[in-house]
Structures are given as C-alpha cells and as structure tokens.
C-alpha cells in the first residue's frame, strides 16, 4: 500500500512532474528524437499484443551490410526550413570525454532514438515503431496544432511508474513532438503483491488518479492507458502474475480513459540501442534493473558480427541505411536477482527456517527481505570471512562464464542507467541530480572501500557492499569491460525520464490512429 495519501501524491506529482521541452523547435530531426528519447531501456519487446524477443526472425532485408561501412553519423541537425535529408559528417567534441564518448545532447537524442528502435521490433514482420514516421518532406507549410496524450505504466521489479506524455502535432502530415511529461512512481512493485493482487492494483489506481488530474477531461476518452510489466512479474508463477494483471485491467476498464486490446501485458526481454560515434569508438547503453540486465551497442567490426551468438543481433533500417544492432537481455542478472544468487537462495527448494549468509554483509546483521513474493532470512558470516575479497569471490560465481563478451566493447564507452546510476549516487561517485562520468574501476574502488569497512557499516542498505561488488564483477568479468572503460551515468535527457515507455506510447498512439 502507498504511504502517501492520494491528494499528497497527486500534488507532489503535479509539482515535480511537468517538464516542458518548449513549443518551438528549430530542428526537425531533433523533434524526431525528442518524442522517442529513452524508448528502449528496461525489458522492452513487442508493443502489439503478445510480446517476444526482437531477434527471433531473420532479417527481412536481403542486402544487409556491415555497420563498419556506413557513413559516420553527424551530431549537427539541419534547420527545419532547410531540411531535405540528414547530413552525414562527424564532429569531434571535447578533449576528455569527447574522445571516447559523444558529449552533445544531440548525440544522446539519436542514441535514444535507436534505443527505441532496438526495443520495439515487432513479432510478425519485424516492423519498427517509427515506420511511416520519417516523412519524405518534414517541412510543414500549414500550422494547425493539435494536442494529444498517452499514459504508460512501467511495472518494474522494484516499483510501478507512470508516464503521462503530452504530444503536439502541428499538422496531420508532420511529425509530432513531445511537449512534456508527468512522471511519478511508487514502491514496492506489483510483484510484491503476488498474494494480494487487489492491493497491488490499488497502487496503480492512485497513480491513475494523477493522470486524471493532469489531462483535460475533454481528452480522457481518446487518451489510451497501458501497463507493461517487466522482469519482476516474469519471475512470479504464471497464475499469480496473471491475477495481478487481471486486477489492473479491471482498474483500467473502470477508468474514463481509452483501454486498447492487450492493455495489460508482460514484456519479453529486448533492450536498448546506441549511437555509433567517431571511428572505432562505439557508444552503447547498459541498463541494470532488479531482475534483469541489458546491453546494446552498434557493432563496428565484422568479427563481432561473426562471433555473436544467434539471437543477439537484430536489424533495422534508418536514414536509408540498414543497421545491425547487438542487443540482449539477461534475465536473472538484475541487481536483486543477483543478491539471491549470491546468497545461494536460488539453489534451495524452500526458505522456511533457513538463514542465507554472505561475506558481503555485516557480521552482526540478521534481517529478512521480500523479493518476488518470497520472504528470505539473511545475515552476515558470524564466524567466517568478511570484506571485499571473499565477497567478490561470491559474486564472481554468479557471472563468470555466463555472459557473452564482445571483444570490441573493451575499448568502447557506454551510457549506464538504473541501478548503475543509483548505486553510484548512493556512494557519492556522482551527483544524484546531475549524474556524471566514471570508469569501471571506480566501482571497484568504492566496493573495496565499503566492503572492507563493514564493521563500521552505517548505510541504510545492508546490501551496498554486495551490490557494488556485483556491479564490478558484472562489468569486468561478465561483459568483459576494461578497467578504464568510460561510463556516462544519467537519468534524464532534457528532463524526460530515460526509459522504453516513451517510444512505446508513441507507437500506441499511432496504432490507434490518434497520431496521424
């Protein structure tokens, strides 16, 4: 149940939520990525009915060529009045981070556009959500603006989030752009209500009330509402997961909003996209959720394409070029699922009366933790070892030899989201509001600092040592990143929450005929 009364939640959401991007955008392609930014993080998949992996079918494009031969993508966008086709020139940016990672927000915008592509490839004809969006002419003549809204719930393993998007379309033939977003979240996630589905649905109801207060009443009947659950519900027994979804669907049907077919569903594990930068410096994306983790980048070398396991590559067309995207989601390797694996809780048939112990926890600790609807007793090693080295040995068993390691990413730079960001902010590696740039070795340095001082542990999270050690092992021994790999940690782009929800909402509006 929520701890805040609905009125407080709504006022807080309205007070914090509305982020305006501006009504006049000079750049057509910037508008294109504005509404699609962040469309691929999390466990995204089919956005038409039943979801499935993005890469289950062979490419429909017979003349697919290597990304290495594609022209480098420029970071400067042509003005709206001059638009004909995207330019393809490359600009270096910045003496430090710019050598390895694009620093301009235009670069981030395009990365997020491809992110949405990577996460919304559909199950039949491998259509993409942007199909039909990039028009032959993006230079409007008449201006007759219309406003429409979309509501997307992201039901993750650690919380439920609502995104209320406002789109503006100047003419029926012009690309809509995102004007603003209202965002709010509640904890715990729906999976915590596995045995109380009605209570779980009530958390959705309170967030839905926020949407009613945010959208003009005249638009309610044509504003679609959808909930997509990610890895947290995939870990539940199917019967319990479906009971939760049924209760949420009943909430939606009683609301004044438009409820499309398959308005409530569990998504499969497709994921993020990226921007390929200057020369061989690849910029990709990493996302670490509670139950799963994802990696996505645009390969630059034929060797990577040849050595990649089947199902890890998908194809799409953009700007008259065909791209091969490396993208994979690892279920069970999210931060909270990894805690269970480290404790050895996944290897036992029952938990009654058993306390799971770890060298990653304070020696004196005795506590309980609920995840996936199951209660676990856990504590520190009362007689055994404690500290970074024995802790790292434990988390190493979780990841070593279980993830594919593309060789080219060792010299690449990546954007990192979700728990990568949260744990870095929790330990002051980055500013909580602004984010920052880290090297992989910075996570290891902080893990050593925290783990080797567990006796004086005062953090609000007893899992901090384990989490930092796991992130280090996941990056170094799981994915194979070098110690000096640069990670750009960020939560928002232009005040819009990064995530798959935006691209999913836009496609939903198109499929329902709400957006021309």
Active site residues: 272
CA distance 446 to 489: 16
Enumerate the H helices of 126-219 as residue ranges: 197-214
| 290 marked as part of a ligand binding site | yes
Stated as kind and residue range, the H or E segment containing 487 is strand 486-489
Is the CB of residue 134 less than 8 Å from the CB of residue 171?
Answer: no
Strands 321-331 and 313-318: antiparallel
Report the C-alpha gap between 295 and 420 in whole angstroms.
13
The angle subtended at Cα 477 by Cα 476 and Cα 478, nearest 5°, is 100
Annotated ligand binding at 293? The verdict is yes
Residue 137: DSSP 8-state? -
Which is it for strands 283-288 and 264-266: parallel, antiparallel or unpaired? unpaired
Inter-residue contact 514 to 148 (CB < 8 Å): yes
Q: Is 294 annotated as a binding residue?
A: yes
Phi, psi of 103 (to 5 degrees): -105, -15
Query: 74 vs 81, 87, 268, 277, 478, CA distance in Å?
Result: 19, 6, 33, 9, 32
Strand partners of residue 154: 161, 228
Q: Does the annotation flag 36 for ligand binding?
A: no
Q: d(Cα 332, Cα 355) in Å, to the nearest integer? A: 21
CB 382 within 8 A of CB 388: no
Instruction: Please tell me whether 291 is known to bind a ligand.
Output: yes
CA distances (Å), 168 to each of 24, 116, 131, 182, 307, in order? 11, 19, 19, 15, 44
- CA distances in angstroms from 197 to 180, 231, 245, listed in the order given: 32, 17, 8
Closest CA to 429 of 408, 409, 444, 410: 444
Q: Which residue has the tokens 């953090």?
A: 459
Q: What is the helix (H) or strand (E) element at residue 330, kind and residue range?
A: strand 321-331
> How many Cβ atoms sit within 10 Å of the Cβ of residue 405?
13
d(CA 348, CA 462): 22
Residue with tokens 């024995």: 390
* DSSP H or E segment with residue 186: strand 177-186
H or E element: which one contains 285? Answer: strand 283-288
Binding residues for ATP: 290-294
Binding residues: 290-294
């Amino acid at each position: 149940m929520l701890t805040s009364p609905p009125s407080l939640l709504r006022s807080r959401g309205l007070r914090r939520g509305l982020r305006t991007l501006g009504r006049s955008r000079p750049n057509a392609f910037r508008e294109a990525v504005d509404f699609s930014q962040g469309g691929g993080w999390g466990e995204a998949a089919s956005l038409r009915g039943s979801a499935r992996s993005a890469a289950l079918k062979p490419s429909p494009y017979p003349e697919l060529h290597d990304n290495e031969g594609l022209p480098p993508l420029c970071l400067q966008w042509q003005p709206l009045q001059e638009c004909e086709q995207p330019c393809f020139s490359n600009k270096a940016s910045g003496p430090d981070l710019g050598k390895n990672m694009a620093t301009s927000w235009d670069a981030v915008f395009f990365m997020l556009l491809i992110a949405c592509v990577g996460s919304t490839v559909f199950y039949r004809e491998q259509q993409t959500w942007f199909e039909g969006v990039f028009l032959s002419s993006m230079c409007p003549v008449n201006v007759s603006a219309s406003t429409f809204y979309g509501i997307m719930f992201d039901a993750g393993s650690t919380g439920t989030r609502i995104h209320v998007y406002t789109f503006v379309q100047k003419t029926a033939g012009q690309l809509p752009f995102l004007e603003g977003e209202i965002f709010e979240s509640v904890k715990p996630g729906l999976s915590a209500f596995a045995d109380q589905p009605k209570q779980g649905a009530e958390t959705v109801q309170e967030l839905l009330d926020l949407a009613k207060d945010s959208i003009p009443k005249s638009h309610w009947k044509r504003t679609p509402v959808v909930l997509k659950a990610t890895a947290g519900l995939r870990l539940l027994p199917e019967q319990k997961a479906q009971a939760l979804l049924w209760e949420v669907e009943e909430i939606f049907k009683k609301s004044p909003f438009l409820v499309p077919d398959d308005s409530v569903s569990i998504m499969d594990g497709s994921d993020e996209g990226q921007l390929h930068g200057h020369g061989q410096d690849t910029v990709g994306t990493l996302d670490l959720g509670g139950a799963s983790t994802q990696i996505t980048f645009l390969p630059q070398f034929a060797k990577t394409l040849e050595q990649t396991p089947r199902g890890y590559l998908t194809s799409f067309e953009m700007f008259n070029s065909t791209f091969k995207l490396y993208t994979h989601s690892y279920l069970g390797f999210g931060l909270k699922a990894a805690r269970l694996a480290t404790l050895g809780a996944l290897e036992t048939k029952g938990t009654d009366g058993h306390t799971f112990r770890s060298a990653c926890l304070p020696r004196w600790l005795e506590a309980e933790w609920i995840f996936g609807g199951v209660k676990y007793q856990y504590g520190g090693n009362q007689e055994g070892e404690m500290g970074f080295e024995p802790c790292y040995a434990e988390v190493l068993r979780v990841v070593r030899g279980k993830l594919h390691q593309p060789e080219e990413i060792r010299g690449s730079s990546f954007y990192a989201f979700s728990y990568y960001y949260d744990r870095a902010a929790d330990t002051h590696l980055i500013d909580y509001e602004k984010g920052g740039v880290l090297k992989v070795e910075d996570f290891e340095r902080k893990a050593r600092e925290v783990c080797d001082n567990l006796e004086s542990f005062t953090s609000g999270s007893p899992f901090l040592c384990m989490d930092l050690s796991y992130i280090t092992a996941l990056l170094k021994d799981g994915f194979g990143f070098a110690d000096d790999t640069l990670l750009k940690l960020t939560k928002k782009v232009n005040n819009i929450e990064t995530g798959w929800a935006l691209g999913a909402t836009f496609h939903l509006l198109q499929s329902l005929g709400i957006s021309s």
